Amino acid sequence: MGLLDKVESTEKDNKKAKTVAVAKPVKSTPAPKKEKKEKKPKKEKVKKSRPVGLSSEFEIAPKLSRVICWWVNFVANFAILIAALFMSAFTGGSSGGLETTILFIIAIIAWMFNAIFLPFNTGRNLGQYTSSTRYIRGDGSKPNFLHSLSVNNLGLLSLVGFVLVFTQVGQLSNGGTTPIVMVSLGAIFMIMWIVNWQFTRNSDLNQGLFDLLFASYLVRFVPEEKATSGFRARLESMSQFGEKYAKRVEERAKTKEEKLSENESDKDSTENDEAPDN
């Protein structure tokens, strides 16, 4: 009986050891945490250096004011002229000759008013009145009249140059000096516009070719005493349209930036919630 008792006790001990071995918990390795995406650092706006000799009371005109000025001058100088050209092209001279002639006359008067009369008398054109800007020299004085004449009419000269090249390049094969002179003159007008655009594009202060030649800068203009009546007051009241448009654009840009920042913060919070704890 002693041997049987020993065998039974050893079998019981083996069963207990097996159950204990099975019951041991297996250590689970925790899932690796998701790494947070690093936010891209925002580019800091670098302030443009103030030109030497320009008084601190003047502020260089921002890009939006330049865009408003350009579009207003484009419409004032070329809208009626383009309409007259389209009308003459579609009618073909068979009908509507009087109407197109009247349109061409009105277009010339509008161009002379905005590009010659206003700059000569007030130092500003319709685009500058709308965008509250003006050209000045480093000492605050008004630039030479030749500067405004060249800047305001450079677009028209480039358009004339394109027409000259387009109409006269086919006459070069016939010989003669007239087509050569016309094509050369038109090419010079077009190249001048391209060179001026390249200067403006590569300049920190958006100075074109003629701005550099005459040492002129387009700055914000805030008159000390606004005219309350007369033709000058009507011109200065045009700045309200430009200011309202600029405010709308700034508000849209601000709301867009706020939405982007909110989306980034929401993404970060969701990633933190999805990450498992230790």
| Model pLDDT for residues 135-146, shown as the tens digit of each residue | 888 777 888 888
Kindly state the average pLDDT of the residues 255-266. 73
Contact between 123 and 148 under an 8 Å Cβ cutoff? The reply is: yes
pLDDT for 5 equals 53
Residue 158 lies in a domain: yes
Poorest-pLDDT segment among 188-192, 229-233, 239-243: 229-233
Residue 99 belongs to a domain? yes
In a domain, 111, yes or no: yes
Structure tokens at 178: 């007239």
Per-residue confidence band for 22, with pLDDT thresholds at 50, 70 and 90: very low
Separation CA 180–CA 168 (nearest Å):
8
Asked if residue 72 belongs to a domain, the reply is yes
- As a whole number, the mean pLDDT across the chain is 75
Lowest mean per-residue pLDDT among 43-52, 68-77, 170-179, 184-193: 43-52
Nearest Cα residue to 162 out of 183, 146, 136, 140: 183
The answer to whether 160 and 187 are in contact (CB under 8 A) is no
Determine the distance from the C-alpha atom of residue 37 to the mean position of all C-alpha atoms in its chain, rounded to a whole number.
Answer: 31
pLDDT at 107 over 80: yes
Report yes or no on 255 lying in a domain.
no
Note whether residue 6 is domain-resident. Answer: no
**Predicted local confidence at residue 154, as pLDDT:** 86
User: What Rg do the C-alpha atoms of the chain give, in angstroms?
Assistant: 37
pLDDT bucket at 191, cuts 50 / 70 / 90: very high
Whether residue 88 is contained in a domain is answered as yes
Q: Determine which of 203-207, 229-233, 247-251 has the lowest per-residue pLDDT on average.
A: 229-233
Structure tokens at 126: 């319709």
Task: Copy the structure tokens of residue 263.
Answer: 């989306």
Query: Which residue type does 127 have?
Result: G
Give me the torsion for CA of 38, 39, 40, 45, rounded to 10°. Answer: -150
Tally the domains of the chain: 1
Residue 34 belongs to a domain: no
Tens digit of pLDDT for each residue in 63-83? 888 888 888 888 888 888 888
* Residue recorded with tokens 């689970």: 28
> What is the per-residue pLDDT for 188?
92
* More confident: 186 or 33: 186
* Separation between Cα atoms, residue 264 and residue 262, nearest integer Å: 5
Residue 148: CB atoms within 10 Å: 25
Residue predicted with more confidence, 244 or 43: 244
Give CA–CA dist 122/120, Å, rounded: 6
What was the pLDDT predicted at 266?
Answer: 65
Q: What is the mean pLDDT of residues 85-99?
A: 69
pLDDT 10s digits, 215-239: 888 888 876 556 555 676 777 777 7
Three-state secondary-structure class, residue 188: helix
Lowest mean pLDDT among 4-8, 125-129, 157-161: 4-8
Please give the residue range of the domain that contains residue 182: 63-223+230-237
